[in-house]
Each structure stands twice: as C-alpha cells, then as structure tokens.
Amino acid sequence: MIEVRTLGSVVVTLDGEAPPRELMWRKNLALLLYLARSPDLRRTREHLVGVFWGDKPDASARHSLNEALRVIRKSVGDDVITSAGDQVVLSKGAVRLDVDELAPLLDEERWVEASALIRGPFMEGFAVPDSWAFEDWLAAERRTWLDRMTGGLRQHGEERLSSGDGLAARDAAARALELDPFS
C-alpha cells in the first residue's frame, strides 16, 4: 500500500518503508497523486498527456506517459496501475491519501479528529513547473482544501468555545490563521 500525506509537505511511504527514488520524481509522483484524486481513479491517456506533457509533440508526450507508468509499475507493482484501452486506471485501495481520511471527518463534523490530520496546505511546496495544467489543478485543490480545513478549524474552535474550553478554541483559531492569514 502506498500512503501519502498530502497535507503539509508531501510524505510517501510504500508498505511502511521509504519509496523507490524513481517514484519520487516529480512527474511520476504527480501522476500517481492526480490519478488518486481523479473520479473513479481513472483518466484517459489523452487527458493525462495534456495535463503533464501538453507542451510536447504528441508522440514524445505519449512516450513520456508510458515511461512514467512503467516507472510507477516497477516501483509499486504491475497491478497498481492498469491500462484498459485509452483508460489509465489506479487500483482501488492501492493509494491511501490523508485527504481521503479528512473529508469524511469534516463532513461528519468530527472536529477533534479532523484537526489532528490538518498539518498544512495541500501538497505544500510541491510543483511541476513545466506542467501548467497540473499546476492549475494543484492550485484549485489547494484552495478547496484550504477552505475546508480553515472552516473545520473554525467550527472546532467555536464548538470548544461554547463548551468553555477557551484554550482549545484559541488553538484552533490560531491554526486556521496559520493556514490562511486572511481566513
């Protein structure tokens, strides 16, 4: 299992150990994370080529995608990513993201548990500068998670304040302001 902490600096483990270096190359990791956040864990090859290699000629871009998929399969196993026709599919349960744990906690208003997972902005400091479409997606994801996390911390603070725990309320508010000073 690949576990990825995306809140704050990105941290990846593979079966509890450090991942192979090739998996940590920016585009390989970005591709894996993008698939993990994609609807139904799948995207078309054409879509992925456009997101990650849109500035390259088509044949070169497709080769780059195939090479990235080869490296990921070599690093984590052939069954993690499959190709079916023009679809690239990430196996369900192959990648565990902290945001996938955080989302239901926020939805269920389980503020204490949710606040424990909030460590910083989504994929803080991570970038793939030559992939503008990925960078646009990443900026949108960061904004979405920033809004959700600061909202959860505010709710947690208000809940703590109404129960008379001013110290915990102040801590939650400080963490929300640390994430987003304009919150």
For 143, phi and psi rounded to 5 degrees? -65, -45
Query: Tokens 């994929």, residue?
Result: 123
Angle between helices 166-179 and 132-162 (to 10 degrees): 170
Per-residue CA distances from 84 to 70, 87, 122, 125 (Å): 15, 5, 30, 33
Helices H, strands E: what count in the chain? Answer: 7, 6
Residue length of the chain: 183
pTM of the model: 0.92
Radius of gyration of the CA atoms of the chain, in A:
18
Could you tell me if 161 and 155 are in contact, meaning their C-beta atoms sit under 8 angstroms apart?
A: no
Q: Give the pLDDT confidence score for residue 58 in this predicted structure.
A: 92
Cβ atoms of 81 and 72 within 8 Å: the answer is yes
**What averages of pLDDT result for each successive group of 10 residues across the chain (183 residues)?**
96 95 95 97 97 94 96 94 93 96 97 94 95 97 97 95 94 94 82
**15 to 4, 46, 94, 139, 140: CA distances (angstroms):** 11, 31, 10, 29, 30
DSSP code of 17? B
